């Protein structure tokens, strides 16, 4: 009878240790989940900021590449002008 009581005590202790270990694992996983979620939220904000910056850069690029802008820079900085109709020579193959 004493052996059965001792065996029951060992099983109870083992089960309690497993329950405590499981609780610690749940707490750890919950903590890691919160950390990961917080990092994900920060990355989402950074992604939105990068998308806004990308749109601004695309707009700036389209502004710099417009024909009127290119013509303006060619005239002011390079001293280029549109040729007169009499100066244009059409070469046909």
pLDDT at 1: 64
Q: What does the pLDDT profile of the chain (93 residues) look like in tens digits?
A: 678 889 999 999 999 999 999 999 999 999 999 999 999 999 999 999 999 999 999 999 888 888 888 888 888 988 998 888 888 888 988
Is residue 65 within 8 Å of residue 59, measured between CB atoms? no
Question: Given phi > 0 = left and psi -120 to 50 = alpha, else beta, which region is 92?
Answer: beta
Distance CA 66, CA 60 (A): 10
CA distance 24 to 36: 18
pTM confidence score: 0.58
Note whether 80 and 74 are within 8 A (CB).
yes
**pLDDT score recorded for residue 52:** 98
H or E segment to which residue 6 belongs: helix 2-64
């Amino acid at each position: 009878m004493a052996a059965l009581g001792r065996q029951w005590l060992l099983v109870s202790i083992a089960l309690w240790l497993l329950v405590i270990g499981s609780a610690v694992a749940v707490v750890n996983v919950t903590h890691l989940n919160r950390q990961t979620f917080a990092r994900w939220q920060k990355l989402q904000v950074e992604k939105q900021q990068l998308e806004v910056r990308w749109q601004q850069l695309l707009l700036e690029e389209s502004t710099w590449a417009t024909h009127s802008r290119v013509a303006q820079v060619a005239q002011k900085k390079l001293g280029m002008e549109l040729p007169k109709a009499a100066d244009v020579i059409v070469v046909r193959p």
